[in-house]
Structure 1
Amino acid sequence: MIFVVQQHQATTLHWDLRLEVDGVLVSWAVPKEPSTDPHIKRLAVHVDDHELAHADYEDDHKSTWDRGTYDNLTEPDAATAIEAGHIKVDLHGERLTGIFALTRTAMHGNPRNWILVKVSAPQV
């Protein structure tokens, strides 16, 4: 399965995180650049799904910031995990690598608000 992060200059600059799930790109708008620091949480606003072809879309306002593949680490599957409000994925991109979690928070009373965070690696 693929993932893509597109830097998007709309009304404000943000990053669109998109995960391929069941033939579409499930999408979140992230107002600040996704962080690889496990101590930093980012707001991620769940937005409408996009067609898979959108993964390659670029124009004057949108460019690919990162892309790659991912493994779903949440049982039983990605679609069920998203519906339940928590998904953990292992990203294999150029900028984003390792395990990230998205958790619905309903912060500020908005059920579309999620938190994106890199999960720290286990201590060896």
Structure 2
Amino acid sequence: MISLNKYNQKRNFKYISEPEGAIKKSITELVFVMQKHAAFHLHYDFRLEIDGVLKSWVLPKGPSMNPADKRLAIMVEDHPYDYKDFEGIIPEGNYGAGIVMIWDNGSYTLADNEGVANVEKKLNCDLKEGHLSFILNGKKLKGEFALVELKTKDDNTWLFIKKNDQYASNEDVLDQDKSVISNMTLESLEK
């Protein structure tokens, strides 16, 4: 069963504008969001909608469009579906304090969904097996990617990998530093 208890326990909603945990679903396509988060350390939060929540990974170095780059991704607690729209400041003294910007967003599909009757059931099976392959249709992130769990004693360590397709590139996608929602940088959001 999917639970947002851990998410809710870490937050005091009297003092923050982050959405309270609730399970919801997209009406048509599954969504993803990549948030740039200037907290204690600058990082990126990658979130995939599965079963009404956003499965979430922290990417310390952010995403890459270069298939040779294998970016560390740490799986963290599920976030509520409405977190896909969260952009703003988490006040000092609260969990995750800092500035959150919607760096990219869009929809996604399974990379190989031929003959798959229930996409979310397949995603959950792939998640348990530690290997997700998906196609992102974002404004910055496009094409096929994979999340691959590393088999270590720390069971939340994954790799975020761009697959070699027509969208693969050596250009640094992180140079595109504005929000896809507000067209602001982290610095301008802070002001």
Same fold by TM-score greater than 0.5? yes
Structure having the higher Rg: 2
- 2:135 aligns with 90
Instruction: Give SS of 1:99's match.
Output: strand
Distance 2:143 2:111 in 1: 11
Give 1:62's match in structure 2, choosing from 86, 100, 104: 100
Identity of aligned residues (%): 38
**Runs of at least 5 residues in structure 1 that lack an aligned partner in the other structure:** none
**1:74 CA displacement:** 5.4
- 2:154 aligns with 110
2:50 is aligned with 1:5 = no
Amino acid at match of 1:95: K
More displaced 10-residue stretch of structure 1: 41-50 or 73-82: 73-82
Structure having the larger proportion of residues in strand: 1
Amino acid at match of 1:68: G
Aligned length: 121
Distance 1:101 1:44 in 2: 11
Distance 2:103 2:110 in 1: 21
- The root-mean-square deviation of aligned C-alpha atoms, in Å, is 1.5
Amino acid at match of 1:62: V
Q: Is the 8 A contact 1:18 1:28 kept in 2?
A: yes
* Large movers: runs of 4+ above 2 Å: 73-76
Distance 1:51 1:25 in 2: 6
Instruction: Give SS of 2:125's match.
Output: helix
Distance 2:138 2:127 in 1: 21
**1:121 CA displacement:** 2.1
Q: TM-score, normalised by structure 1?
A: 0.92
